[in-house]
């Protein structure tokens, strides 16, 4: 299961403005993993539990502002049918229904994670990055189609289990977290772990960490109190990037 530590502060937004800001910043941070055209989407659950805020379709992750964020009510299916809603928004709603402790969901197509989804290979416990996924990575292998029905999305949630990510066959990946910080950490860390695995494989025979040792490393390496530091670093980096573009 995901971390059960009590966060230093609540990162579940209490109002729509706060939620929209988190989705916008989160989307821009995820965009640094690589060009995703207009296809990726980030969402956060509100503090009340039944509302989520999600990026609209039609723009790339790097373009998202607070004005580009939609509200979905988990108790009202009609809110998924607005024209600007992503076709695969059900991925988010069904995971939130299945996992009450999840506070953020990301679906994107980063290069290394998507490549892994197109193989039968596994993530090896080679570095501390990989330890974040000691509970395993789910695999949705029903088809390579878009996830556009409730039954498909429920299957994604099922194979996700209690983990932090699920690979969609020949398609992409879904990341979840206790809040937006943890979900983004999963996205960034899986890409880094896979890059290192590719490099290690070219250098010589792999020497993985045992699962037992990975489970011991996890609570020391990944503490909630570190996540705010990571978030602040990601936001600072966005500012530097924006300034370099003259924006």
Is residue 37 a contact partner of residue 60, using CB atoms and an 8 Å limit?
A: yes
Q: Please, which residues have CB within 8 angstroms of residue 208's CB and are 6 or more apart in sequence?
A: 124, 125, 126
Q: Which CATH architecture has domain 16-242?
A: 3-Layer(aba) Sandwich (3.40)
DSSP at 124: -
Q: What is the pLDDT of residues 98-154, one digit of tens each?
A: 999 999 999 999 999 999 999 999 999 999 999 999 999 999 999 999 999 999 999
Q: What is the pLDDT of residues 205-242, one digit of tens each?
A: 999 999 999 999 999 999 999 999 999 999 999 876 45
pTM tops 0.75, yes or no: yes
Distances (CA, A) of 188 to 32, 33, 87, 111, 241: 9, 7, 24, 11, 17
Q: Please, which residues have CB within 8 angstroms of residue 104's CB and are 6 or more apart in sequence?
A: 26, 42, 43, 44, 45, 176, 177, 178, 179, 180, 182, 183, 184
| H or E element that contains 65 | none
Domain ranges across the chain: 16-242
Q: What is the pLDDT of residues 173-211, one digit of tens each?
A: 999 999 999 999 999 999 999 999 999 999 999 999 999
Is residue 40 a contact partner of residue 92, using CB atoms and an 8 Å limit?
A: no
Q: What is the pLDDT of residues 48-93, one digit of tens each?
A: 999 999 999 999 999 999 999 999 999 999 999 999 999 999 999 9
């Amino acid at each position: 299961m995901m971390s059960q530590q009590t966060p230093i502060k609540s990162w579940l937004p209490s109002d729509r403005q706060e939620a929209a800001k988190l989705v916008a910043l989160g989307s821009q941070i995820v965009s640094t993993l690589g060009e995703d055209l207009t296809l990726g989407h980030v969402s956060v659950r509100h503090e009340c539990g039944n509302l989520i805020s999600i990026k609209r379709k039609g723009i790339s992750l790097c373009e998202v502002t607070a004005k580009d964020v939609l509200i979905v009510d988990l108790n009202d299916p009609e809110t998924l049918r607005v024209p600007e809603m992503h076709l695969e928004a059900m991925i988010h709603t069904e995971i939130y229904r299945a996992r009450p402790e999840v506070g953020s969901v990301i679906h994107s197509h980063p290069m290394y994670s998507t490549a892994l989804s197109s193989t039968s290979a596994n993530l090896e416990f080679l570095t501390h990055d990989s330890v974040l996924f000691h509970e395993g990575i789910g695999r949705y292998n029903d088809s390579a189609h878009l996830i556009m029905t409730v039954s498909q999305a429920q299957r994604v949630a099922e194979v996700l289990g209690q983990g932090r990510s699920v690979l969609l066959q020949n398609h992409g990946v879904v990341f979840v977290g206790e809040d937006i910080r943890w979900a983004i950490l999963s996205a960034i860390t899986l890409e880094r772990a896979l890059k290192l695995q590719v490099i290690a494989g070219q250098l010589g025979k792999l020497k993985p960490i045992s699962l037992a040792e990975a489970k011991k490393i996890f609570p020391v390496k990944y503490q909630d109190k570190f996540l705010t530091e990571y978030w602040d670093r990601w936001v600072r980096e966005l500012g530097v990037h924006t300034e370099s573009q003259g924006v």
